[in-house]
Structure 1
Amino acid sequence: MSETAPAAEQFSADRPFVFRGATVITMDEQGVLDDADVLVIGRDIAAVGHRLEVPEGTLEIDASGGIVTPGFVDTHRHMWQSALRGYGGDWALSQYFVFYYLNWGEVFRPEDVYAGNLLSALESVDTGVTTTLDWSHGLRTPEYGEAALQALREIPGRFVLGYGNYLGAPWEWANAPEFRDFVSRNFSSRNEMMGLQLAFDVPGASDFPERGAFEAARDLGLRVTTHAGVWGATTDTAITQMYDAGFMTPEVCYVHSASLNEQSYQKIAATGGTVSVATESEQSAGQGYPSTWAIRKHGIPASLSMDTSVWWSADFFSAMRATLSADRSRDHLEAHARGETIVANRLRAEDVLRMATMGGALSLGMEDRIGSLAPGKRADIVLIKNDESPAMTPILHPYAHVVYQAGTADVHTVVVDGRVVKYQGARIGLPLAPVRDKVAASVEYVRSKLGEKAWAEGMHPEIPVDEAIENPYRYTDGDAHVVARAQD
């Protein structure tokens, strides 16, 4: 017999628990199971099925009326920027470059990176994002890297630090002795809860100096994540350089990939690369049209990401919804331009939920451990259940319900690596107040360094007229450029 768990305090590391009576979306060959159970023992999923027999003393979670899914995987989030949440809500990408890359990047301290990471990490697990790649491009020295890691270690999520420095040349910092010491200190042994990648861009300089950064990644055995296909910043030139040099492999994730030509997409497909799609970012900032519409034609695996909360929220339901809608919108518009009508949508809700789970796992090289609900995989699980929400009844089409009906307020239980970090809609042992205080201190400092005039101008930028903005990658030449035009 099992015991019902009425309170979060009854969860312990050595006590099994089981989700009972849920609609279970496995994201594997079992598909969707109605009125099914998921048993967790230790760090792992022990069984998935109907009316499971469980060990004596197993705690029960009543999941009836809810949907159990794999934890969401965000493959690209600038977590440190969460401390300035919403500050750039009216920005285009050019203003982002001006604020961080050209004007104020040097203002931020290690403690500011720490505060932003802490808030973002807490928000991740709170909203069902059990794995997040921190595209941490504000790490000017290893001291900044240590601050980023410290924050991620304090939150019980699964994280990958994408180490980057947008103010420095990647071929230099990736080969510097102090960076190698940082890697040796923190990543000398495997840790499933904390991974490392190199995060840098290729702006298209004729001599391809980023070769040295790719060689560093190869030497260290690290995957690479890079912003590709960003209009006016990282172009097809970069893809050609990477391809010709032999650095395009399955270990590279191309973020956005929203404004590439057919040849570039073909190269990504042929070399086994993956794409991280950040639809709300691409729609608003202007990297290009969200790329699922293009890459699915080439069979390129996609994952989803939120990019940065300096603009948008960290709501992964919003990411799924926006992605499906943008893809379908483009399909319809293209058909209408040909005088035709779409009679069945090609991209389905199941496809987008797969991007949010298994797609992310594949992009991070973790598909053998996370991304689906199968015995032997790590227990990264989300229960979507809210008995008082009109939007949670009835559940007829589970994939579409997760994508188009559910929201963050419906995240009932979150499990990371077998640990219950949220139950009955409340985080366990993770109060907001200490994090909020650290973020408030960081905001106060940054605002004081800018001064009130620059702070206000940064938040409410004027619309420029025929103004060219310099290459934001100040450490190199290339074809990165932004030319502003007055908007009617």
Structure 2
Amino acid sequence: MATMDGRAVAVPDAVWRADLTLARDRGLPVSVHANNSAANSGHVRRLDELRLLGRDMQIVHAVNAEADEIAALARSGASVSLAPSSELAVGFGVPPVAALRRAGIVIGASIDTPALVGAADLLRELRIIQGLANALAADEMAMTPLDALAIGTREGAASLGLDGVAGSLAPGKCADLIVVRRDALSLLPHADPATMILRSLRPADIRVVMVDGTILKQDGLLTKIDRAALTADVLETSARLARDAG
């Protein structure tokens, strides 16, 4: 379903419909790569015509979604995940950030694939999203730094249907957080925290990464991963794939 082009469906209807039905029967969220370029358009319109859009569906890209498709997303409660580094780098186009926000659509951020953008840097994606939103609106404050950080936290969780368990710190939710070094030169002087984090925070400035109460990174070191073993595995796998490809 992620590869349907608006004129023909690369995956047989019976296959993607079975996948969608299975996911919904099990209460799982659904993520669909759609409307990702001028050559691949009309996906959202078709999903709407088939009455398949819903609050449990996240559309990835929606770069060339037209006004009627954006309205359909808003009516259905479907969310959109933007991957601006990928969308700009490969020529998909400019994500319609301003139009999506005006329609009240929940927005998340993603990278699409590391093969296209390199490091999985969420803050980079949020900076680009904010820049695009303000450029398209011709308004420096159309999206504030706090708005952008919300896309990486509360809204991002909501776009995945996880806002009940993640996205903010509250009783009963997962303890997902980062601890930032206050003495990091890139963050001095201490002005507006949201602006400094969005604009200036570097990976080296993050002292602790905690996921669901477990510390996964502390003082620059990964605590649950054997880095040497992982490096060896990556290099071996890369070499094997190169050999297999001839």
TM-score (norm 2): 0.90
Q: Does 1:229 align with 2:35?
A: yes
Contact 2:187 2:197 (C-alpha < 8 Å) held by counterparts: no
Q: How does 1:28-67 map onto structure 2 within 5 Å?
A: none
Paired position in structure 1 for 2:103: 298
Paired position in structure 2 for 1:261: 66
**Does the residue aligned with 1:310 lie in a helix, a strand or coil?**
helix
Contact 2:38 2:64 (C-alpha < 8 Å) held by counterparts: no
Contact 1:280 1:319 (C-alpha < 8 Å) held by counterparts: yes
Q: Who wins on radius of gyration, i.e. which is larger?
A: 1
Paired position in structure 2 for 1:247: 52
Contact 2:108 2:159 (C-alpha < 8 Å) held by counterparts: yes
Contact 1:227 1:234 (C-alpha < 8 Å) held by counterparts: no
Q: Does 1:277 align with 2:82?
A: yes
Contact 2:176 2:212 (C-alpha < 8 Å) held by counterparts: yes
Paired position in structure 1 for 2:203: 408
Paired position in structure 2 for 1:325: 131
Paired position in structure 1 for 2:172: 376
What CA distance in whole angstroms lies between the structure 1 residues aligned with 2:59 and 2:224? 36
Per-residue deviation at 1:253? Answer: 0.2
Higher helix share: 2
Contact 1:214 1:247 (C-alpha < 8 Å) held by counterparts: no
Per-residue deviation at 1:254? Answer: 0.3
Paired position in structure 1 for 2:6: 204
TM-score (norm 1): 0.47
What CA distance in whole angstroms lies between the structure 2 residues aligned with 1:246 and 1:304? 25
Contact 1:386 1:412 (C-alpha < 8 Å) held by counterparts: no
**Unaligned segments of structure 2, at least 5 residues:** none
Contact 1:229 1:287 (C-alpha < 8 Å) held by counterparts: no
Paired position in structure 2 for 1:441: 236
Deviations 1:170-222 (A, max 9, x none): 6xxxxxxxxxxxxxxxxxxxxxxxxxxxxx44332458824444333333432
Deviates more, 1:416-425 or 1:265-274: 416-425
1:286 maps to a residue whose letter is G
Paired position in structure 2 for 1:196: none
2:133 maps to a residue whose letter is D
Contact 2:31 2:58 (C-alpha < 8 Å) held by counterparts: yes
1:247 maps to a residue whose letter is L
1:240 maps to a residue whose letter is R
Task: Give the 3 Å change call, closer, same or farther, for CA 202–215 of structure 1 in structure 2.
Answer: farther
**Does the residue aligned with 1:303 lie in a helix, a strand or coil?**
strand
What CA distance in whole angstroms lies between the structure 1 residues aligned with 2:170 and 2:28? 27
Deviations 1:314-342 (A, max 9, x none): 1112111121112222333xxxxxxxxx4
Q: How does 1:151-166 map onto structure 2 within 5 Å?
A: none
Report percent identity of matched pairs: 27
Per-residue deviation at 1:233? Answer: 4.8
Per-residue deviation at 1:298? Answer: 0.7
RMSD across aligned positions (CA): 2.0
2:168 maps to a residue whose letter is S
Contact 1:202 1:226 (C-alpha < 8 Å) held by counterparts: no
Higher strand share: 1
